[in-house]
Amino acid sequence: MQLLGFKDYRQQGKRLAQALKLEYQQVAIHHFPDGESKVTLPQIRDDEVIFCRSLDHPNDKLIELFLACQTARQQGVKRMTLVAPYLCYMRQDIAFNPGESVSQKIIGQWLGQLFDRVITVDPHLHRINNLNQAIPNTKTISLSATKLMSEFLANRPNPPLLLGPDSESEQWVMQIAEHTGLDWEIAGKQRHGDHNVEIMLPEIDFKDRIIVIVDDVASTGRTIAKAAKALHQRGAQTVNCLITHPLFADDAEQILCNACINHIWSTDSINHHSNIIQLTSLLAEAIKSEYLFHS
Ligand code: R5P
């Protein structure tokens, strides 16, 4: 088996290869002046390949994966696994207005056709129960970072109160609370636009509490910032956030800073200086047991 990584996710790919006792090899990408990509695979020596690349900023990455995948097939690869700790296009899961494409289904079907296995971490599945509904006709493995997050939080000096900023975050908050015994609450959220959200905190006493806002994704940062501001208004002592997928688009970090977030912590599903939890062990264990039992 060969593990092929990409420059933008090199450290994580290398760590994963090391944990699996595989050589790390890198797919070379050249961007032509007009924006097209040239993809060059390292020498293919095996009929089984793992591609490791997270799918934030996905548009170029998806095309490059497609080119890499088809080239590998042409070179005789029989089985291909995609390890994408952050899986893109999962949030648009229905057409909210006539004519809108349901990207979760379309991208999901495409990935299902390309790969024999797709492994990811905490995909944003809101209106469906399992990843196979989004990525049909292939083996899907959906892992959760909540155990690693729990271990991280359990080692904090003062037990925080966990706050999920919306109903979708409840699944992750509850799992962390189960592992750690920490108190938890869920806020209500209404989204009026990409950069406009409203947060309704539950009616409990937040005064002098240390809070950790837990969410799967921070994109514009507005959800967390609004929750943090509301918590400060209610007397919280410190507000931190723990994010699985730190997308942090455009001015997101500045917005969080303005909202007086004390610490921003995240997993390394996406490269960001807030990465404090490595997913390597979670991914490696899943791959090892998959290959042990199903190859
Ligand atoms: C949505 O349900 C997700 O769990 C996040 O709360 C959301 O994607 C965060 O987006 P933003 O950072 O743009 O408010």
pLDDT digits (tens, 9 = 90+) for 186-237: 999 999 999 999 999 999 999 999 999 999 999 999 999 999 999 999 999 9
Atom of ligand 1 nearest to the CA of 165: 6
What is the pairing mode between strands 188-193 and 196-200? Answer: antiparallel
Atom of ligand 1 nearest to the CA of 219: 12
**CATH architecture of the region 146-277:** 3-Layer(aba) Sandwich (3.40)
Atom of ligand 1 nearest to the CA of 215: 4
pLDDT for 89-121, tens place per residue?
A: 999 999 999 999 999 999 999 999 999 999 999
Mean pLDDT of 257-272: 97
**What is the spatial distance between Cα 136 and Cα 109, in angstroms, rounded to a whole number?**
6
**122, 192, 215, 224: which to mutate for ligand 1, most atoms within 8 A of CB?**
215
243 backbone dihedrals φ, ψ, rounded to 5°: -120, 135
Distance 270 CA to ligand 1 centre (A): 15
Distance 215 CA to ligand 1 centre (A): 8
Q: Is the CB of 216 under 6 A from ligand 1?
A: yes
Please count the CA atoms within 13 angstroms of the CA of 48 that sit on its side-chain side.
Answer: 6
Atom of ligand 1 nearest to the CA of 195: 13
Percent of the chain whose pLDDT exceeds 70: 99
Q: Is the CB of 241 under 6 A from ligand 1?
A: no
pLDDT for 150-199, tens place per residue?
A: 999 998 888 999 999 999 999 999 999 999 999 999 999 999 999 999 99
Fold assignment, 2-144+279-289: Rossmann fold (3.40.50)
Distance 219 CA to ligand 1 centre (A): 6
> What's the pLDDT score for residue 155?
84
Distance 191 CA to ligand 1 centre (A): 9
Flag whether pLDDT at 292 surpasses 70: no
In the structure encoding, which two tokens stand for residue 205, read together? 């006493």
Q: Is the CB of 56 under 6 A from ligand 1?
A: no
Q: Is the CB of 222 under 6 A from ligand 1?
A: yes
Flag whether pLDDT at 246 surpasses 60: yes
Domain boundaries, given as residue ranges, for the chain: 2-144+279-289, 146-277
107-136 burial, b if ≥16 CB within 10 A, otherwise e?
Answer: bbeebbebbebbbbbbbbbeeeeebbebbe
Q: Which of 208, 205, 213 is nearest to 182 (CA)?
A: 213
In the structure encoding, which two tokens stand for residue 135, read together? 């990525």
Do 2-144+279-289 and 146-277 fold alike per CATH? Answer: yes
**91, 146, 217: which to mutate for ligand 1, most atoms within 8 A of CB?**
217
Residues 134, 105 contacting (CB under 8 angstroms): yes
Percent of the chain whose pLDDT exceeds 90: 95
Amino acid at 157: P
Q: Which of 113, 11, 106, 102 is nearest to 54 (CA)?
A: 11
Flag whether pLDDT at 21 surpasses 90: yes
